[in-house]
């Protein structure tokens, strides 16, 4: 039974290979993500993980942990607060903040924190879930 305040989290470090694989899938070949020499000259000083790659951890959480299998995304609002760097561990967490039982829809706070416990991504997800979840 899904309840207000329920949470789930997963953690991951994104490798340089992950960035190249994501670039091929998304067609986002921005050199700030893929070229260490180029990235040195940016405001970040080094390669930055694609924001959408990091935020895809929310999809993994929602579809496998909370609410789980059968979950369908209805919407996602994201704000990218700080960069995530290659091989930096990030932890994505979702928390149930609203349940609409008549439509099997829940709203979740979505947050990613880096290995220094800084918020790097924040937002909300709205999903439709299986009644048995």
**In this predicted model, what pLDDT tens digit does every residue of 103-124 receive, in sequence order?**
999 999 999 999 999 999 999 9
Indicate whether 117 belongs to any domain. Answer: yes
Indicate whether 114 belongs to any domain. Answer: yes
pLDDT over 80 (residue 133): no
What per-residue confidence (pLDDT) applies to 130?
81
Q: What's the burial of 111, exposed, middle or buried (CB within 10 Å: 0-12/13-18/19+)? A: buried
Q: 118: domain CATH number?
A: 3.10.129.10
pLDDT over 80 (residue 57): yes
Q: How many CB atoms lie within 10 A of CB 129?
A: 19
What per-residue confidence (pLDDT) applies to 132?
58
Alpha carbon distance 33, 66 (integer Å): 30
Indicate whether 1 belongs to any domain. Answer: no
Indicate whether 2 belongs to any domain. Answer: no
How many domains does one find in the chain? 1
Give residue 20's pLDDT band: very low, low, confident or very high (50, 70, 90).
very high
Q: Supply the pTM of this predicted model.
A: 0.92
Which residue range forms the structural domain that includes residue 56? 7-128
3-class DSSP state for residue 105?
Answer: strand
């Amino acid at each position: 039974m899904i309840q207000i305040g329920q949470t789930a989290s997963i953690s991951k470090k994104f490798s340089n290979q992950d960035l190249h694989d994501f670039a091929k899938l998304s067609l986002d070949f921005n050199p700030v993500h893929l070229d260490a020499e180029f990235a040195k000259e940016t405001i970040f000083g080094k390669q930055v993980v694609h924001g959408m790659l990091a935020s895809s951890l929310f999809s993994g959480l929602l579809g496998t942990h909370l609410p789980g299998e059968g979950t369908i995304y209805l919407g996602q609002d994201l704000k990218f607060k700080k960069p995530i760097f290659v091989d930096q561990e990030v932890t994505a967490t979702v928390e149930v903040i609203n349940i609409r039982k008549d439509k099997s829809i829940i709203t979740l706070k979505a947050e990613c924190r880096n290995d220094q416990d800084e918020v790097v991504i924040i937002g909300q997800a709205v999903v439709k879930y299986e009644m048995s979840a």
